[in-house]
Structure 1
Amino acid sequence: MKSLNIHYNPRIDQLRWLAALIVFLFHFEVAVRGHGAPALTGPWWGIVTEGHTGVGLFFTLSGFLFMQIAQRQGTIRYRDFLRNRILRILPLFLVVFLLATSIQRDRFQAQDILYVLATNLGDSPTSRSVVTGAAWCISLEFMFYLVFPFLARFTLEQGPRYLVKLLALMLLLKVAVFHENERSTLMYFSTFVGRFDQFLIGMLAATLYPRWEPRLVPHAAWLAPVALLLAIANSAVQARVAPFTAVHAPFWITWSLQESIVWAGLIVAWVSVRQRLPNCIERATCHGGKVSFSFYLLHAAAIHTLVRAVGVPRVTGTAWADTLLLGAAVYAATWAIATLGYGAIEEPFLNLRGRYGDKAATVAPAQRDGATVG
């Protein structure tokens, strides 16, 4: 997705595609589990069974990208930044929120409209249905947008140590609240106390990246697969020690930190890769990144509609093969729906956005025609 505030980097879109894919696999596995699909057992399936980690990649990537923009622009105009962010997420998010209130019309109360600001808390209408449940994280993302220009300014003034201080404070808060909530896993998973450090880790990685880049680029081709393997291994550790089904586990105090650190490692390694992928893969993954917001918010609707209607088909006679066939079909349908959602809802609003930094990024005319990310 191209930006008026920073040069386009296809690696960022490819990472968005990966994050959306991981979340898709997570929800698809949950959906087909009761329809004859073989169970995924063993911790090394954690990247799927604990595929909520894709949200951690999204959050870390947000911190990384916006800090890169801040470093390039020097100063961010707060009003213009928020205007861009509202145009970026609000149109499609409101569609999903209205869909949620339509589904729950008989339970709707006037105060539920306030959940548009806090979809991650309480009995949000979006969380009452699996079709709209993915919207829980949008409130956390927007909270980050509200404070990011200040965080970026202080980081540019004080350097990485400012972010380290914030991370230390966040860790202390995590420890302090562990025994204050009997369902601490859900608290760490879906609230400020458990997630905000992931944006900060992304910002820290972006701040340090210019120092590392000269040494990373020559080795990035092998560092990126290693970084991905570390992320898979981290999910395996979580699946074995304290999966999402664990209601109250000390592991979750540091879970978001370690998850974000391994994703930050993949981000800095992958953006350092200079070799192009085969053209068809490059174009497909970049498109997947471009439509990843629509894909993320709409994928559950596609999964649960098709899985309920079809179930796991008996085509090959092998449960694994039949599940893979269904997964490919559902993924293709989700891809088409996401592309439609992007073109019909996101893109017209994206084209209304402008620059919000003091330095005008030099963007080629062809890039100006695309949607912006910043």
Structure 2
Amino acid sequence: MILPQERSRDIGLDHVRALAAFMVFGWHFMHFANGYPVPFEGAPSIFPLAVLDEGHTGVALFMTLSGYLFAKILDGKTVNYIAFLSRRAIRLLPLLFAMLIVEGIRQYIVGADLQAYFRSLVTGIVEPTLPNGAWSLTVEFHFYALLPLLLLLGRKSPGLLLGIVLVTVSLRTMLFLQDGTVFWPAYWTIVGRLDQFVFGILGYQFRGLIVKEHRRAAVLALAFFVFYYFYDRLGGLYQMPSWPSSSPVWIVMPAMEGIVYGLLIAYYDGSFNHSQGLLSRAVGNIGKYSYSIYLWHFLVVFYMADFVQKHILDISYYYTGQLWALICFLVLVPFAYASYQVFEKPFMRLGLSYSSKKMATHRADQAFSR
């Protein structure tokens, strides 16, 4: 069935989505070639910017937001799970398939091993082998498989969801003691990312702890910024102490990011009447196109950074690199808009209703840009 146009999007959450997309884009723009064009050494002296310098954490923000949104949209509603899965597939797969075809053509042109590429697409159903950031969609699909259980446990008792996090932290601890590292499962798979989905759900359920609590939110954000400043200063993702990381911080990093992002998303969503002014709507539109930005940017972001470094300006200084990352990110937005119109928007209203209230179903698909 096709559902009619209904209520507007949650523009505040689109702002969050735009931030996450910029964090990931900026991370790849500045550091794509082992610290080129912006070296890894040090951290920005304006310490909150360390979160942007370690912009890979934008993936954690995306995933926590997914948990929060589904908790908000499906709160107290009965869900037709088969219809839910089919609707999510209709929403996400057209753009994913388009990107995979283009990437396959690119690999053919450069003479890459196409058999290896096709094998990565097959294994990508289970393992994080899909190209161009699509590995995170594999993790999100795994979350969808677990969503009915998570919603059931959350309705019975939030403590049961915390129990799931305790299990994942324990599992990561055992893997670390066994292998001397837990980075791969913590960063690339549901073994780590499940914490973030769960804390997104809990962020919505416990939003009363943070909504309009400005001082509490400020302290939480400050503590997170300070942690990321020292994490960045000590080498961050690539140099703490090496790649892949053998640091035990990855036992708790997914949970810590999930806690902070879950609460701050709830704070931003519930504490303000978000403006419908020009700037707010412009940022919100970037959030609307963030799925397209996320999947397509890998094809151009590295060339953008290399071109700027070689032909326009030395961007090895962090602040210069971050500014140019923003400029190039904005250059990409019109192309993301075109992609959104072709590969996303036409599919948003297709499929069966999966909740007890049709409005909630339509709102769910409008609320998600990835």
Per the normalisation by structure 1, the TM-score is 0.82
Q: Residue 90 of structure 1 aligns with which residue?
A: 93
CA-to-partner distance for each residue in 1:70-100, whole Å, 9 max, x for gaps?
Answer: 2142x11101111121122111112222333
Structure 1 segment 55-204 matched on structure 2, within 5 A? 55-73=59-77, 75-105=78-108, 106-109=112-115, 111-118=119-126, 120=128, 124=129, 126=131, 132=132, 134-156=133-155, 158-204=156-202
Runs of 5+ consecutive residues of structure 1 not aligned to the other structure:
127-131
Residues 1:249 and 1:3: Cα distance change in structure 2 (over 3 Å): farther
1:287 alignment partner, one of 276, 285, 288: 285
Asked if 1 retains the 8 angstrom alpha-carbon contact of 2:42 and 2:235, the reply is: no
Q: Residue 23 of structure 2 aligns with which residue?
A: 22
Q: What is the letter of the counterpart of residue 30 of structure 2?
A: E
Asked if 1 retains the 8 angstrom alpha-carbon contact of 2:180 and 2:246, the reply is: yes
Structure 1 segment 208-247 matched on structure 2, within 5 A? 208-209=206-207, 211-212=208-209, 216-217=211-212, 219-220=213-214, 226-241=219-234, 243-245=236-238, 246=240, 247=245
Q: Residue 53 of structure 1 aligns with which residue?
A: 57
SS of residue paired to 1:117: coil
CA-to-partner distance for each residue in 1:223-251, whole Å, 9 max, x for gaps?
Answer: 65555444433322322456212321111
SS of residue paired to 2:354: coil
Q: What is the letter of the counterpart of residue 54 of structure 2?
A: E
Q: RMSD in angstroms over aligned alpha carbons?
A: 3.2
Asked if 1 retains the 8 angstrom alpha-carbon contact of 2:29 and 2:304, the reply is: no
Q: Which has the larger displacement, 50-59 or 26-35?
A: 26-35
SS of residue paired to 1:71: coil
Q: What is the letter of the counterpart of residue 19 of structure 1?
A: A
Cα offset for 1:373? 3.4
Q: Which has the larger displacement, 351-360 or 56-65?
A: 351-360
Whole-Å separation in 2 of the counterparts to 1:225 and 1:302: 36
Whole-Å separation in 1 of the counterparts to 2:315 and 2:307: 19
Asked if 1 retains the 8 angstrom alpha-carbon contact of 2:68 and 2:204, the reply is: yes
Cα offset for 1:13? 1.0
Residues 1:196 and 1:316: Cα distance change in structure 2 (over 3 Å): closer
CA-to-partner distance for each residue in 1:136-187, whole Å, 9 max, x for gaps?
Answer: 211001110122123212322x121110111111111111111333553233
| Alignment pair present for 1:300 and 2:295 | no
Q: Residue 329 of structure 1 aligns with which residue?
A: 327
Q: Residue 12 of structure 2 aligns with which residue?
A: 11
Q: Which has the larger displacement, 298-307 or 285-294?
A: 298-307
Asked if 2 retains the 8 angstrom alpha-carbon contact of 1:224 and 1:269, the reply is: yes
